[in-house]
A and B are shown apart, each in its own frame.
Chain A
Amino acid sequence: MTSLINTPVSVADDLDAFRDALRHWLPGAIPANWRDRIRKGGEPAYLDVQREWYKALADAGLATAHWPSAWGGADLSLDAQIIFYSELARAGAPMALLYTVSLYHMPATMFAYGTPEQRDRYLEGVRNGGVVWCQGFSEPGAGSDLASLKTRAERRGDTYVVNGQKIWSSSGQHAEFCLLLARTDPTAKRKQEGISYFICDLRSPGVTVRPIAQPTAESEFNEIFFDDVEIPAENLIGEEGQGWQIAQTTLTTERGLLIFECVERLAQAYRKDADDGRDTWLRDPVARHQFVTFYPRIRAIQALVAQLLAELREDPHGGNVTATYVKLYWGPLLQDYVQFTTRAQGLEGQRFTEPQRCAGHNSGDAFSDFLWSYGWTIAGGSNEVMRNLVSERFLGLPKG
């Protein structure tokens, strides 16, 4: 086991000391010139940076510090995690995008529903091996209406045989494993019933992963095809038919810290944009006025996220209502902001630059940031689905 002495984690109980230690540690730990390397070196360089960064975090015990100590984590408190992400944003560290599912969605699912054998094997794989996971939830015919998914898993003896297609799996082309939702009982009365939750080894015969060419000139998302893929029965998570319920646990992991990190990075970007534009586009009084209108909105989303984190501090499974408002405030705000920065730069903002991955919505190419903002207005519940949720569940308006 790696010694944690003299690393930030070893002083995490003292929040001020933890912050100081992170500020001391981060400059040497962040992969050098990572922005340039990725811009010039494309996908292979991106993967190198992600792996280096993950190794640095893992060696310092920080990658999985938010996990329970029983599973190799450090029981890092929510307040310490908040500091961690603030400091990452402040230091301009790359986001560990390749490992989001490995570090959050998979373990959250395992802690709640995994068997001891599953936990031992898969948590350890992430913690010490940096194994990459992806999600296999959405389908071409099941986006906002996820519960209508059709991918079929049929039990045959000790295995399930899977046929169907998944889509929008981030990092699927680099992942070893997939969190897979598939229908085990097509005769169930409600569409939410009859869905089961599996661990699928993507190296299994019959699996085809195909990257989707995106308007951003990248391929973060993938289609995954399943053609008579055999999954051992021991890879079922929870009970057969419990998949929908378990998926809620997986998806609620996205609340809180992941959005906090993005919001903090936007607040950083606002200050940087103010600096960058001072002698150029901010001299235009119209652009300047529009720019200042974003200040209160960014402070408002920060205040809303702070409230969400306060609720999660009280109850790690709470905050449902506030999390919904956070998402519906954040997506449109981000999209408005990056649309504004793109347009404020005039023709300069139309020049294509090679993709800058894992920089948050602060890549240096505003149009790329604009395109990526759809990741918050479509994925994880589109704006329109969130508006149905707010108006029907929270405000009591009748269903259409």
Chain B
Amino acid sequence: MDLGALQDSIRDMLTTECPRERVVRHAQHGNGIDRDLWSKAIALGWTMISIPEENGGLGLGTDALALLYEEAGRAAAPLPLLSCLLAVQSIVASASPAQRDSWLPRIAEGAIVAMDAPIGITSPGLSLSRTGGDIVLTGTVRDLLDGADAQLLLLTAADAEGRAYRIMLDVAADDLTIHRETLWDRGRSLSNITLDGLKLSADRAWLTTSEAEEALVDHAAIALAADSVGGQDALLDLTIEYLKTRQQFGRPIGSFQALKHRVADHRTRLEGARWLTRSAVAAVTAGLAHHATEASAAKAQAAADYIDLGRDAIQLHGGIGFTAEYPCHVFVKRAFLNEQLFGSRTFHLNRAAAPALCGAV
């Protein structure tokens, strides 16, 4: 598969179907994902990218997904791509063939799956016990990304022996009520879910491993790094265009060194984040030994650079950057949330530098 063509097709779709005006409108009037846009993404098979060929997907790897995330970031698209594609990976890595056959087609058809953070970032919030042939879940899962928009939830639970499971919950069939926690970034939302002895058929659960969960951390880190790189590209272009056209004191404000030098620094940092992210994508795709440190380094750096650019982009735009009709704030809010999702900056910095600090390299 020609990944360049894939990236072009994703970018074309988002340019047409998710223009700036739509994103700005969603930020003012929407909350959570953009369902019409999601239907179009499903129609184009975006969730099929990493589903294995034997399950009807394209069976592509992290390198293909990274392009999808980068383009979604460029458009600041309110889509649950990360939640759903993480779920695909978890199912493919750990679920039984029968479980794959039950859940992968539903994701392919557009069911949104919310995932709690992989074990390693947090501990399972749910405890799992057994009664007869069933499992019983009790506990609270906090900060579930896209939970209020999801039809399925893929959560972690631990049993009394400390074994860790992934469990698939069906919001409608299991009669779950999920409240939306509104975020500053209106393209995504969080939910807390409390279960008090929810009984489910045992085939909803499968054992997960620390390797599988670590691979999910890598996936999330790369996704958020790529989203941050795409977002920086877009926001920097927007800012440069403004500096070229905005006239004050009889000349374009982009001719002032105090402004253009800041833009040059942001661009330089973006190039660093871009190539670090590509290096991480290559390391994860090829399963190189340093995949975890590289993925976390990319996430920590790209998200921090995105925040610094975002903060300065409003400043460089002046008053217009402080209006809801202008898109700066959409990127800024996305940048700040990216840094916190699926592991804080501190978590990823420590994960990245751990081998160096232990003298392992």
- Residues of B close to A386: CB separation below 8 A: 264
Is B28 interfacial (CB-CB < 8 Å)?
Answer: no
Assess whether B261 is in contact with A400, with CB atoms less than 8 Å apart. no
CA of A274 to CA of B294, assembled, Å = 18
Given known contacts A271-B361, A328-B265, A391-B264, A292 and B272 CB-to-CB distance under 8 angstroms: no
Quick one: which of B260-293 are within 8 Å of A by CB? 260-261, 263-265, 267-269, 271-273, 275-276, 278-279, 293
Interface assignment of A303: CB less than 8 Å from any CB of chain B = yes
Q: Can you report 10 A-B residue pairs in the complex whose CB atoms are below 8 A from each other? A: A282-B357, A292-B353, A295-B297, A295-B353, A296-B301, A304-B275, A387-B260, A391-B260, A391-B267, A397-B244
User: A residues within 8 A CB of B267?
Assistant: 325, 390-391, 394-395
Main secondary structure of the interface of A (DSSP, over half): helix
Judging by beta carbons under 8 Å apart, are B359 and A387 in contact? no
User: Closest approach, in angstroms, between the C-beta of B351 and any C-beta of chain A?
Assistant: 10
> Which residues on B sit within 8 Å (CB–CB) of A227?
none
Across the interface, which residues of A come within 8 angstroms of B349, CB to CB? 289, 292-293, 295-296
Pairwise interchain contact A325-B301, C-beta atoms closer than 8 A: no
List the B side residues contacting A189 at CB < 8 Å. Answer: none
Interchain CB contact under 8 A, A296 and B359: no
Would you call B252 an interface residue if the criterion is a C-beta within 8 Å of the partner chain's C-beta atoms?
yes
Cβ-defined contact, A387 with B240, below 8 A? no
A177–B84 CA distance with the chains assembled, in angstroms: 66
Given contact pairs A296-B298, A391-B254, A398-B252, a sample of 19 additional A-B residue pairs in the complex whose CB atoms are under 8 Å apart: A271-B359, A274-B353, A274-B356, A289-B346, A293-B349, A300-B273, A303-B275, A303-B278, A304-B275, A322-B271, A325-B268, A325-B271, A384-B257, A384-B261, A387-B257, A390-B264, A394-B267, A395-B240, A398-B244
Query: B244 touching A304 by the CB < 8 A rule?
Result: no
Cα A295 to Cα B297 with chains together (Å): 7
Q: Is the CB of A303 within 8 A of B279?
A: yes
Q: Mark A287-300, 1 if CB is under 8 A from B, else 0.
A: 00101110111011
Answer yes or no: A44 CB below 8 A from chain B CBs.
no
Q: Is A79 an interface residue (CB 8 A)?
A: no
Interface contact A397-B240, CB-CB below 8 Å: yes
| B300 interface residue (CB < 8 Å to A) | yes
Q: List chain B residues, Cβ under 8 A from A292.
A: 349-350, 352-353, 357
If A306-B279, A397-B244 touch, does A390 touch B268 (CB 8 Å cutoff)?
yes
Residues of chain B lying within 8 A (CB to CB) of residue A278: 357, 359
Minimum C-beta distance from A175 to chain B (A): 34
Within 8 A of A (CB), among B212-258: 240, 243-244, 251-252, 254-257
Docked pose: A301 CA to B254 CA in angstroms: 27
Residues on A with C-beta less than 8 A from B298 are 296, 299
- How far apart are the CA atoms of A235 and B264 in the complex, in Å? 40
What 9 pairs between A and B have smallest CB-CB spacing? A300-B272, A296-B301, A391-B260, A390-B264, A303-B275, A387-B264, A296-B297, A295-B353, A397-B254
**Interface check A329, CB cutoff 8 A:** yes
**B352, A296: Cβ atoms under 8 Å?**
yes
What's the nearest-Cβ distance from chain B to residue A148, in Å?
19
A388 to B261, CA, bound (A): 7
Query: Are the CB atoms of A391 and B276 closer together than 8 Å?
Result: no
B181 shortest CB reach to chain A, Å: 29
CB-based nearest B residue for A308: B275
Which residue of B264, B265, B276, B350 is within 8 Å of A299 (Cβ)?
Answer: B276
Q: Which residues of A contact B275 (CB under 8 A)?
A: 300, 303-304, 306-307
For residue A239, CB closer than 8 A to chain B, the reply is no
A363-400 vs B: 1/0 string, CB under 8 Å? 00000000000000000000010111111101111111
Chain A proximity mask over B323-361: 1 for CB below 8 Å, otherwise 0: 000000000000000000000001001101100110101
Task: Report yes or no: B301 in contact with A397, Cβ–Cβ below 8 A.
Answer: no
A270 at the interface (CB under 8 A from B): yes
Q: How far is the CB of B305 from chain A (nearest CB, A)?
A: 9
Q: Is the CB of B359 within 8 A of A299?
A: no
Q: Are B279 and A391 in contact (CB under 8 A)?
A: no
Cβ contact within 8 Å between B276 and A397: no
Which residues does B use to contact A, with CB under 8 Å?
Answer: 240, 243-244, 251-252, 254-257, 260-261, 263-265, 267-269, 271-273, 275-276, 278-279, 293-294, 297-298, 300-301, 346, 349-350, 352-353, 356-357, 359, 361
- Complex formed: what's the CA distance from A394 to B357 in Å? 38
The distance from the CB of A345 to the nearest CB of chain B, in whole angstroms, is 17
Contact of A392 among B260, B265, B301, B359 (CB under 8 A): B260
Instruction: Specify which chain A residues have a CB less than 8 angstroms from the CB of B356 in the assembled complex.
Output: 270-271, 274, 295
Residues of chain B lying within 8 A (CB to CB) of residue A390: 264, 267-268
Interface string of A310-331 (1 = CB under 8 A from B): 0000000000001001001100
Instruction: Say yes or no for A275: interface residue by CB 8 A criterion.
Output: yes
Residues of B within 8 A of A398 (CB): 244, 251-252, 254-255
Q: Say whether A328 contacts B264, CB under 8 Å.
A: yes
Q: Contacts A289-B349, A390-B268 hold; do A396 and B240 have CB atoms under 8 A apart?
A: yes
Q: Once the chains are docked, how many angstroms separate the CA of A95 from the CA of B163?
A: 54
Assembly CA distance A159 to B265 (angstroms): 47
Nearest A residue to B241, CB-CB:
A396
Given A271-B356, A289-B349, A397-B260, answer yes or no on A296-B244 (Cβ-Cβ < 8 Å).
no
> Which one, A271, A295, A302, A399, contacts B255 given CB within 8 A?
A399
Q: Which residues of A contact B361 (CB under 8 A)?
A: 271
Give bound CA distance, A271 to B279, whole Å.
20
Q: Which residue of B lies closest to A322 (CB)?
A: B271
Instruction: Give the residues in chain B near A275, CB-CB below 8 Å.
Output: 359
Query: Are B300 and A296 in touch, CB under 8 angstroms?
Result: yes
Residues of chain B contacted by A274 (CB below 8 angstroms): 353, 356-357, 359
Which residue of B is nearest A297, CB measured? B301
| Nearest CB in chain B: distance from A395 CB, A | 5
Report yes or no: A299 in contact with B256, Cβ–Cβ below 8 A.
no
Query: Could you tell me the distance between the alpha carbons of A301 and B269 in the complex, rounded to whole angstroms?
Result: 10
Which residue of chain B lies nearest to A333 when distances are taken between CB atoms in the complex?
A: B272
Measured between beta carbons, the chain B residues less than 8 angstroms from A399 are: 255
CA–CA, A192 to B191, complex, Å? Answer: 64
The listed residue (B257, B272, B276, B294) touching A400 by CB distance below 8 A is B257
- Among B263, B297, B361: residue with most chain A CB under 10 A: B297
Q: CA separation between A273 and B273, bound complex, in Å?
A: 24
A325 surroundings in chain B (CB, below 8 A): 267-268, 271-272
Bound Cα distance from A291 to B352, whole angstroms: 12
Residues in B whose Cβ lies below 8 Å from that of A391: 254, 260-261, 263-264, 267
CB distance from B198 to the nearest CB of A (A): 40
CB pair B279 A329 closer than 8 Å: no
Query: In whole angstroms, how far apart are the Cα atoms of A94 and B115 in the complex?
Result: 52
Q: Are B353 and A291 in contact (CB under 8 A)?
A: yes
